[in-house]
């Protein structure tokens, strides 16, 4: 009898976490930072990905929500995570590639300051600065380039 109650309670908790995770995805996309934080605190999975390997920090980056990206970083979102080979665009992209593609300069700089890999290549061998350049965002490409140079003079 108590086993049954435990099983139900356990299932309810699992279901709650799954629902929280899909809510987290939607909240990240809409930039509802307070909701994002509340959902993470109630067990939503920050690293949950869709079939294309996109995780919430990528979704928030694509939509241009700086505060949300910051909250996800504070919640230990993996800034090194990359999308997979599936999908119409952005194969092998990190959040920094996505920020470059979407001209999200503030988010790109936040990711760079947080330690995002500037030299990581996507499936076509492009680093984030290449992605910005290809879109004609030369100023953003320069910001990333300058960060690379600064990083090298600092540590090499
Ligand atoms: C973050 O993502 C990278 C790239 O996919 C992976 O190699 C690494 O293990 C991940 N780190 C964590 C803590 O999951």
Instruction: Say which CATH number the domain at 45 has.
Output: 1.25.40.20
What is the distance in A from the centroid of ligand 1 to the CA of 77?
Answer: 10
CA distance 104 to 60: 11
Range of the domain at 140: 2-155
pLDDT at 85: 79
Spans in the chain with pLDDT lower than 50: 155-156
Rg (CA), the chain: 18
pLDDT at 13: 73
Number of domain units in the chain: 1
pLDDT at 1: 52
Is residue 120 packed enough to be buried (19+ CB in 10 Å), middle (13-18) or exposed (0-12)?
middle
What is the distance in A from the centroid of ligand 1 to the CA of 82?
Answer: 8
What is the distance in A from the centroid of ligand 1 to the CA of 7?
Answer: 33
Minimum-distance ligand 1 atom for the alpha carbon of 81: 2
pLDDT at 156: 41
CA distance 56 to 99: 13
The preferred substitution site among 75, 80, 119 for testing ligand 1, maximizing ligand atoms within 8 Å of CB, is 80
């Amino acid at each position: 009898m108590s086993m049954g109650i435990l099983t139900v309670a356990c299932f309810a908790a699992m279901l709650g976490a799954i629902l929280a995770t899909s809510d987290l995805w939607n909240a990240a996309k809409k930039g509802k930072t307070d909701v994002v934080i509340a959902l993470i605190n109630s067990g939503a999975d920050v690293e949950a990905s869709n079939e294309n390997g996109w995780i919430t920090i990528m979704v928030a980056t694509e939509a241009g929500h700086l505060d949300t990206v910051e909250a996800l970083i504070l919640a230990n979102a993996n800034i090194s995570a990359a999308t997979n080979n599936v999908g119409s665009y952005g194969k092998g992209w990190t959040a920094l590639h996505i920020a470059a593609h979407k001209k999200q300069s503030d988010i790109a700089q936040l990711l760079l300051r947080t330690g995002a890999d500037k030299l990581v290549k996507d499936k076509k061998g492009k680093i984030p600065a290449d992605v910005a350049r290809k879109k004609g965002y030369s100023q953003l490409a320069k910001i990333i380039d300058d960060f690379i140079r600064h990083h090298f003079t600092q540590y090499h």
